Structure 1
Amino acid sequence: MSEITYAEGDATAPRGGGVKIIAHVCNDLGGWGKGFVLALSRRWPEPEAAFRRWHRERARNDFGLGAAQFVPVDPSVWVANMVGQRGIRTAGSTAVPVRYEAIDAALGLLAGKALELGASVHMPRIGCGLAGGEWSRVEPLVVERLVAQGIPVTVYDFDRKRP
């Protein structure tokens, strides 16, 4: 079994050939305005537009914790909007919005899509930014759901010192 590849760089510019899926975690409020999603929106408008529509029409679709939406942004690049956090952090609150079971469920859906497309998966340390999660709890989920099925995974750590 292969392992996760860790790389310094921008997850919105995935490395390597073939089909690639960029995965990230979203909240269940339909909010899109802080964190990694800003980098996605700077590169492509489609993931945000699709996410907002998915949330707006949630009474008629599968939107909710553990769901995943796959948005093509280029002939060989897709974005996976994965709902893995309940709400958002509020000022003064110590509660974290990450929901590991929801990330796990969404990773299962991501695995199915990656296998269908023959894609590699690229991501920041999902659920560990604004969602407040711990990579030590997310990494085993990524390994179990993706790496164990032979799906190549690259996790990017953004170098904030670069312009």
Structure 2
Amino acid sequence: MAEDSRARLIYAHGDATAPLGSGNRVIAHVCNDIGAWGRGFVMSLSRRGPEPEAAYRAWHQGRGQNDFRLGAVQLVRVAPELWVANMVGQRGIRRAGGNPPVRYEAIDEALGHLAEQARRLDASVHMPRIGCGLAGGEWARIEPLIRNQLCGRGVNVAVYDLAVGAAA
């Protein structure tokens, strides 16, 4: 898929939970598939408000009757022009057999679903370096997924790196 010339990926120093710009914005992050919420980027999200965690926990708890699985996305509205995308892209929370919990194929699928939702909302997407913290992924493998699934479908993306000395 050719990249849309109007969509771009930018890198910014700052806090992904306080996305730059105006208009509709989605904060995207990677969740695990076991319902655990309590370490990493989700702690910053929880400090901003209870909605993403409460929605994720309810989604996981009802997983027998909903679409909760690797590759799924849950969009949670947290303010008039702001949503959080809980993307299930991590198998468990620990390394297994020497492999990190990240699941690239699930992140790729989730980004595809997110692109559809972001386009419907006419929203930009904002994120930390998803899948590279506790999930143990490699940015060199994740960035192309973002370029293809989001930028390639006309969605602008901002990736945030915390400034040195800033709290996560």
**TM-score category by the smaller chain?**
over 0.9
The residue that corresponds to 1:104 in the other structure is 108
- Deviation digits for residues 50-102 of structure 1, max 9, x if unmatched? 00000000000000100000000000000000000000125x97320000000
Moved more, 1-10 or 16-25: 1-10
Q: Partners of 2:33 and 2:45 in 1: how far apart? A: 18
The residue that corresponds to 1:52 in the other structure is 57
Q: Which secondary structure state, in structure 1, belongs to the residue aligned with residue 67 of structure 2? A: coil
1:61 paired with 2:71, answer no
Q: Partners of 2:164 and 2:64 in 1: how far apart? A: 39
Matches within 5 A, 1:2-151: 2-89=7-94, 94-151=98-155
Q: Which secondary structure state, in structure 2, belongs to the residue aligned with residue 103 of structure 1? A: helix
Q: Partners of 1:101 and 1:71 in 2: how far apart? A: 23
Which residue type is aligned with residue 63 of structure 1?
F
Specify every segment of 5 or more residues in structure 2 that has no aligned partner in the other structure, as ranges. none
Q: Structure 1 stretches (4+) deviating beyond 4 angstroms?
A: none
Q: Partners of 2:153 and 2:109 in 1: how far apart? A: 15
Q: TM-score, normalised by structure 1?
A: 0.96
Which residue type is aligned with residue 153 of structure 1?
V
- Deviation digits for residues 86-135 of structure 1, max 9, x if unmatched? 00125x97320000000000001100000000000000000000000000
Give the counterpart of 1:162 among 152, 163, 166. 166
Residue 159 of structure 1 deviates from its aligned partner by: 1.8
Aligned residues: 162
